[in-house]
Structure 1
């Protein structure tokens, strides 16, 4: 649970979203998603903390099945008015998603973790409902943009009062806690970085600004790996060595029905 948008906070967000800084940040989001996520046609995509559907609108509903969840009933109503039948939208908590295990191919957190009280619980839930990857996009706490936003806090800009920030190493720590040792792809995007644009000529042609962890927008893609696999073979028990207490009741009945005259191995269908 964290900040739940009402009419006032939604207006503050819209003001920021349509500001030059907000539009520049959205451009970085638009660049980062295809670069890291590589969605495939036919995949099911869930946006956690979908808001009014700004980021769901980046995907073609004719290619993907789109879903959104947000804790604010007010915001979900606004999103439904905007998106219509292009996405399936629900009210729900990021820390307790109202979906089945492995229901989606991709799960997105785009400027959502910043508003949550328990980001780790939300990431674990995303891992439960996602089959392929989890995408995390945040405002980088090691960026010039963060410093400017912090100044706005000091000047009592109310929208940023409950806004948390993360850096690459903090997010990697959360990812390890949520998913274990998994590979992480990441990139940083920059707003108004003339110095960074000059670095290639000053340092090396091998310089890649997106690999500098001080950009304004930080995007990470976490491919999910499952370390446990259920055995699909029937269990075979040697009755000559097994004691009656091993199996009881109906199970013993199955043993006797499946008894083979040529040996003492029994196949138990589970």
Structure 2
């Protein structure tokens, strides 16, 4: 994770999330996570985002109703996150492999696109599971995807720093760490990065929730104690997800007027 301490890389990250492809990737990541955690209780629940970067996903978790905390190894990233969220979140400087928190200090933990950039991804997962009393949600860019196969065409320099992992490898790590509970697996962003744009066909293909491993971004939700709320599926789809995504969309559109996501 040391690459994120470089000021040029931080600027590159900012440019990527503001680009057409990066904006769609971020919105797709939000859609995938909201789908995975739709059954989690939120009000009064403590949520830690590991690898919070500039706080864009942290803001989504805040709008979802969690009491949010962010952690990152880059002081530059944390400065931007603090400017974005102000007093709505707490932020800590630290490493994902050695979280500065007590066992079960948080209800839920999110590990978003961190495993690809660390030397010991299993240690990151173990730490997330240690500090989460109820559940963990993980996202990782997949080695089985078209994004990986055509990665040399990606406009993001972050791609060359990634340590690509297969969904099978992530599953193997989690099987060794999780003794009980329920796991939900899905993915998003089916097309290569050249299709990450808001044309009718490309937008539809890349916004669909796919089976685990098929899309560029895979997600796993681990419910340690099977703590999901008994919410009917229709309510989850028609109310919970759009409410969170629309709030985030509004804030992203204000910062990036050129975004056309879901229009």
List runs of 5+ in structure 1 lacking aligned partners: 199-207, 227-270
- State the distance in 2 between where 1:19 and 1:60 align: 24
1:11 match: 11
1:44 match: 46
Deviation at 1:20, TM superposition (A): 2.1
Bigger CA radius of gyration: 1
1:79 match: 81
- Alignment partner of 1:172 is 2:141: no
SS at the partner of 2:82? helix
Distance 1:212 1:114, change over 3 A: closer
- State the distance in 2 between where 1:62 and 1:191 align: 25
Give the TM-score taking structure 2 as reference length.
0.73
Distance 1:3 1:211, change over 3 A: same
List runs of 5+ in structure 2 lacking aligned partners: 196-200, 227-263
> Given that residues 176 and 182 in structure 1 are in contact (C-alpha distance below 8 angstroms), is that contact kept between their aligned partners in structure 2?
no
1:231 match: none
Deviation at 1:140, TM superposition (A): 1.6
SS at the partner of 2:182? coil
Residues matched between the structures, number: 213
Deviation at 1:61, TM superposition (A): 5.4
> Given that residues 116 and 140 in structure 2 are in contact (C-alpha distance below 8 angstroms), is that contact kept between their aligned partners in structure 1?
yes
Deviation at 1:24, TM superposition (A): 1.8
2:105 match: 103
Task: Determine which structure has the larger helix proportion and give its number.
Answer: 2
Aligned pairs (5 A) from 1:49-60: 49-60=51-62
> Given that residues 126 and 134 in structure 1 are in contact (C-alpha distance below 8 angstroms), is that contact kept between their aligned partners in structure 2?
yes
> Given that residues 139 and 217 in structure 2 are in contact (C-alpha distance below 8 angstroms), is that contact kept between their aligned partners in structure 1?
yes
1:24 match: 24
Aligned pairs (5 A) from 1:206-245: 210-211=210-211, 213-225=213-225
Q: Deviations over 1:68-94 (max 9, x none)?
A: 001112221221122111110000110
Q: Alignment RMSD, CA only?
A: 2.6
> Given that residues 46 and 107 in structure 1 are in contact (C-alpha distance below 8 angstroms), is that contact kept between their aligned partners in structure 2?
yes
* Higher normalized contact order (CA 8 Å, seq sep 6+, divided by chain length): 2
Distance 1:212 1:94, change over 3 A: closer
1:190 match: 189
2:150 match: 148
